[in-house]
Structures are given as C-alpha cells and as structure tokens.
Amino acid sequence: MATIRGDMEPGVAGSCLGAAFEMALACDVRVAVPDARFGLPEVKLGIPSVVDAALLLHHIGLSKAKEMLLTGEMFAADDLPPGLVNRTAPAGALRDAADELLASLTAPTPEVIAAQKALVETWLNVGLQEGIEASKDVFGEVFAEPATAEAIARYRRRGRE
C-alpha cells in the first residue's frame, strides 16, 4: 500500500497490470477502488506471466486465475472473486480505508505478526501435519515472549474496564 508521492492515496485506483499486479499479489493486503482494473496482459504479447503471478491462484482460485492468465483480460476489483482485495473504498476514501486496515494490522505485537506471517508461508508450502507441528513450536516460542505477556495483561485490563 505504498505510494510514490505523498499526495497520492494508498491503494489501487485505475489499472494494475503486469508486473505492478504481480507486486500487488506479493503484498500482504490490498486496498482498491471498486472499479480498479487488474490484469496480466503479457500473454497477448506472447510472454507468459511468471514469478509472483503464481500467487494469483491462492487469491482468486484456479478457474478465474486461468482465465486471467490465458486471456490477458482485465477485470474490475468488484468482478473478481473475494480474496484479491481486502478492502474497497470510493476514490477519495482509499486513505481512510488503508489507514483503518493498517491500524488493525499494527495493533498486535510485532512478534506475533512476524510469527503469524511465517506460519502462513509454512502452511502454504508444507503438508498439513508438518504445518501443525510447526504451529505448535511457534506458539510456544511466541507465548514465551515478554511482549506476549504484556499484550495478555493489556487485554485483561480492557476486560475489566
């Protein structure tokens, strides 16, 4: 959700094509206007989409991913299956939507966010049993962190207020 200039809204407005779309797919979250258009038009030039395009299947499913990859057509955010865009907002309100999502993402401890992100990658790349075993190990490690004890104490205090 980064921007090049500070006066631009974070998120996708307009077209997000080719390598830009692949970069967006590599992001943890995406915010866009409902009519933002996404596509991988390289196939129309005789060039296959590669590298981060492989992430597309996880975001929108095999059928729609194949359609996008094999036709090179563009699709509006609202016309794609859930999973590609985390939040949509009208033009002019992208910053508020991105800020709200960012606040939710930065509320947990950095330790648990790093652990959760690593676990998601593990779950995507190993079998179920290995993913479960890794989860148990990570749970124990993060639970032992001082930041976790502090977060639990804050949560308990909120419950009494």
Average pLDDT, the chain: 90
Q: What is the mean pLDDT of residues 104-111?
A: 93
- The answer to whether 9 touches 38, Cβ cutoff 8 Å, is no
Confidence (pLDDT) at 7: 58
Residue type for 118, please? A
Q: Which residue has the tokens 């148990």?
A: 136
Residue given tokens 């077209």 in the structure block: 15
Rounded to an integer, the average pLDDT of 97-123 is 94
Residue 47 confidence (pLDDT): 93
Residues 6 or more apart whose Cβ sits within 8 Å of residue 129? none
Span 28-57, pLDDT tens digits: 999 999 999 999 999 999 999 988 888 899
CA distances from 130 to 92, 119, 120, 123, 161 (A): 45, 11, 13, 8, 41
Q: Kindly state the tokens that stand for 144.
A: 């032992």
What mean pLDDT comes out for the span 107-129?
93
Half-sphere exposure (CA, 13 Å, Cβ side) for 11?
28
Output Rg (C-alpha) for the chain, integer angstroms.
19
Extended beta strands in 80-131, E state: 87-88
Q: What is the pLDDT at residue 2?
A: 40
Domain layout of the chain by residue ranges: 15-105, 110-160
Does domain 15-105 bear CATH number 3.90.226.10? Answer: yes
Q: Read off the pLDDT of residues 57-97 as tens digits, 9 standing for 90 and up.
A: 989 999 999 999 999 999 999 999 988 999 999 988 999 99
* CA 145 – CA 141 distance, rounded (Å): 7
C-alpha distance from residue 78 to each of 4, 38, 72, 81 (Å): 25, 10, 18, 8
* Secondary structure of 70-83 as H, E, C letters: HHCCEEEHHHCCCC
The pLDDT value recorded for residue 48 is 93
